[in-house]
């Protein structure tokens, strides 16, 4: 019997956008089970609360499965508010998946991976470079453009767009 390769893709996902979804789809080729871990991260002052962010992520994961893009990888979403390596252990994973958009992301991510490795040497971090069509997308820009009445329909799924529109009062 083969050993299940489980990974965790953590983030605030406020909101989840096409760059996140690209990383998720590509990660399904690397692991048998992928837990998308929605972080509390109150320091970022999220637009959507944890419950809403978790529901939005779940809806996007459901769409990936419905479209046949999960590559037989089991996808699940879970909120978390613990140390990442503790969460990774708790869900039985051994890999953290992180997306990199630009060189500017690398320094922070490198430090985080090094700290995680020191705390939990059995957990590996895999970096996936953003595809060229998604390198410029960030949740911060999506929220700001939406708040100012700009069109973010090419950055997020339809259901996320609906929630952004409702939250901005547009």
The ranges assigned to domains in the chain are: 6-168
Model's pTM, two decimal places? 0.94
Question: pLDDT-based confidence at 49, cuts 50/70/90?
Answer: very high
- 């978790």: which residue's tokens? 54
pLDDT tens digit sequence for 80-126: 999 999 999 999 999 999 999 877 788 889 999 999 999 999 999 99
* Secondary structure E strands in the chain: 6-11, 33-39, 74-80, 95-100, 124-129
Residues tagged active-site? 20, 44, 101, 139
Give the architecture-level CATH label for domain 6-168: 3-Layer(aba) Sandwich (3.40)
Q: How far apart are CA 116 and CA 105, in angstroms?
A: 17
């Amino acid at each position: 019997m083969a050993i299940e390769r489980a990974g965790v893709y953590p983030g605030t996902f406020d909101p989840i956008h096409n760059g996140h979804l690209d990383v998720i789809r590509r990660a399904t080729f690397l692991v048998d089970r992928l837990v998308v871990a929605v972080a509390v991260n109150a320091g970022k002052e999220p637009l959507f609360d944890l419950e809403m962010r978790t529901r939005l992520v779940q809806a996007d994961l459901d769409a990936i499965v419905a479209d046949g893009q999960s590559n037989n990888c089991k996808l699940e979403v879970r909120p978390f508010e613990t140390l990442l390596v503790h969460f990774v252990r708790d869900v039985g994973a051994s890999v953290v998946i992180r997306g990199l958009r630009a060189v500017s992301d690398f320094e922070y991510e490198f430090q985080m991976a090094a700290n995680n490795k020191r705390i939990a040497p059995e957990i590996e971090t895999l970096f996936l470079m953003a595809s060229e069509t998604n390198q410029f997308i960030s949740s911060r820009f999506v929220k700001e453009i939406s708040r100012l009445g700009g069109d973010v329909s090419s950055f997020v799924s339809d259901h996320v767009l609906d929630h952004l529109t409702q939250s901005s009062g547009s």
